[in-house]
Structure 1
Amino acid sequence: LNRAAVYMELGRNNLAQADYSLVLDLEKNNEEALLMRAYIYMQQREYKMAKADYERLLKVNPASYNGRLGLATLEQKEGKYEEALSVLNNMIATTGETSQLSSSQYAMLYVARAGVEKDLNHMDMALVDLEEAIRLDNSQPEIYLMRGEIYLAQKKKDLAKRDFEKAVSLGVPQADLRDLLQQTRK
């Protein structure tokens, strides 16, 4: 597991995947290995393999935050938006009842759901979720990036510019947003 983690840090995902597979040969229900191998499979667009690992992880630990969020992300990448929304809605509902998560983790659920809603072109619903994410944790640049993109699509250039500048103030390199910021000036 430790060597696989180092391989991940070095960007050598194939070697990390091999190590996680070795761990799973020895311990078929190792949660860390299942989660990380599923992540690597998603990066490689091996969605069936990723789904199998996420499902196995969720059989071992049905409450796994990272496993459920990973599965929702996978469903979104495959264009299965209703399935992704179902997973995220369930997570938000159960988290609201139990409050086991930090406000940052809870905010990420709203950001993830806003991303699916954006893909479905439900921009107003996405904006509502992003507002809730900001209320829960206003330090996540992803929130402002997504909201800025929505505002830009809605031709609300001043609001988009403000959000992109906020994302830069939270650590996103300005060079990464140069094109988006230029679009707010046109």
Structure 2
Amino acid sequence: MNIKRIIVAVLLCALCGVKLGAQTYEELIQQSYDYADRGDLPAAEQALKAALHREPANRNNFALLSNLGTIQRRLGRRDEALTSYTAALGLQPDNKLILSNRAELFIERGETERALADYETLLRVDPADVEARFRRGVLYVELKEYMLADADFEQILARDRDSKLGRLGFALLDKARGNYADSEAVLTFLIGRDPDDLRLYEERAELYFLMKKNARAMADLRRVFAGEREPSAYLYILRGKIRLAQYEKEAAATDFKKALDLGADRAEVEGLIKMTY
């Protein structure tokens, strides 16, 4: 057993302080799937931990750790999810799915630079990974590194001039630069071409809010909430802001409180709640 595997095995012992039944490693994994299919995520988590504890040096544990991290993330336990994803990458440092999941977790935690580092690794492993390049470009937009974002989105379109992600990237860039009419035109075109993509409605709703077209923004958000099984904290914040602009203070406060329950930044949301008094 090499030193990396020993270190990860020790970490697994720390992660997996659970009582073990008589099930085998494979049975515990199957049990975790069964629990997850039934929506019992805490039980699925415990079954995965038991499997990891049963065989802490199993070469397939990277997949279990990745699944464990995703479950913990869905349960709102981001610190534990980060530990699990990082342990999984200790076993498979270039695994694209795990790198992508950890990058998304870093974004949720507000750790943009660490997310960028994971996307850099993804693009080193696979320079043709369009999704990773798009997501890195979006982070550059948020950091106001518009030239770098432009380069990423242009590279996507250089590979495929009709790429939805490339076009969406430039719509987001236009929105950030205040070119609202151009951004609206691209988003509306993309929605016409792919009317079931909820991300497009979410982005256009935010754009309409910035344009003070609140009725249109709310119409797009109704479409998003109708289709999303688990709306994000950001969606509740956005809808709350629109309701606040429409003087629906009680409804706005309800949205902001729901965002808090989903792990939104407390300082930001409490400031918004004060505006509903």
Q: Structure 1 length normalisation: TM-score?
A: 0.73
Percent of aligned positions that are identical: 28
Equivalent-residue separation in structure 2 for 1:119 and 1:162 (angstroms): 22
Alignment of 1:51-90 (within 5 A): 51-62=150-161, 64-90=163-189
Unaligned runs of 5+ in 1: 100-105
- Relative contact order (alpha carbons < 8 A, sep ≥ 6): 1 or 2 greater? 1
Contact 1:20 1:36 in 2 (8 A): no
The aligned counterpart of 1:112 is 203
AA partner of residue 41 (structure 1): Y
Q: Which residue of 1 aligns with 2:223?
A: 132
How far off its partner does 1:63 sit? 5.2
Indicate if the aligned counterparts of 2:172 and 2:183 stay in contact, CA closer than 8 A.
yes
Q: Which digits, 9 at most, give the CA deviation of each residue in 1:79-107, with x for residues without a partner? A: 111111122112211112xx5xxxxxx22
Deviation, structure 1 residue 32: 5.0
Alignment of 1:1-150 (within 5 A): 2=94, 11-12=113-114, 23=124, 31=130, 34-62=133-161, 64-96=163-195, 106-137=197-228, 139-140=230-231, 141-150=233-242
Letter of the structure 2 residue corresponding to residue 116 of structure 1: L
CA contact (8 A) 2:156 2:166 kept: yes
What is the root-mean-square deviation of aligned Cα atoms in Å?
A: 3.3
Distance 1:151 1:18, change over 3 A: closer
Q: Quote how far apart the aligned CAs of 1:14 are.
A: 7.5
More deviation in 72-81 or 39-48? 39-48
Q: 1:152 to 1:71 in 2, by over 3 A?
A: same
Question: 4+ residue stretches of structure 1 with deviation over 4 A?
Answer: 5-10, 12-21, 62-65
SS of 1:160's equivalent in the other structure is helix
2:265, 2:142 → 1: CA distance? Answer: 23
Q: Any stretches of 5+ residues in structure 2 without a counterpart? A: 1-92
CA deviation profile, 1:104-127 (whole Å, cap 9, x unmatched): xx2221111011111111111111
Deviation for aligned residue 1:182? 1.7
Comparing 42-51 with 12-21, greater Cα deviation is found at 12-21
3-state SS of 2:230 partner: coil
**CA offset at residue 43 of structure 1?**
3.9
Deviations 1:56-87 (A, max 9, x none): 20231345444333222111001111111122
**Residue identity opposite 2:166 in structure 1:** G
8 Å contact kept, 1:35–1:67: yes
> Aligned to 2:259, which of 151, 154, 167?
167
Q: For residue 126 of structure 1, what is the amino acid of its counterpart?
A: A
Provide the aligned length of Structure 1 versus Structure 2.
Answer: 174
Which one-letter code corresponds to 2:177 in the other structure? Answer: E
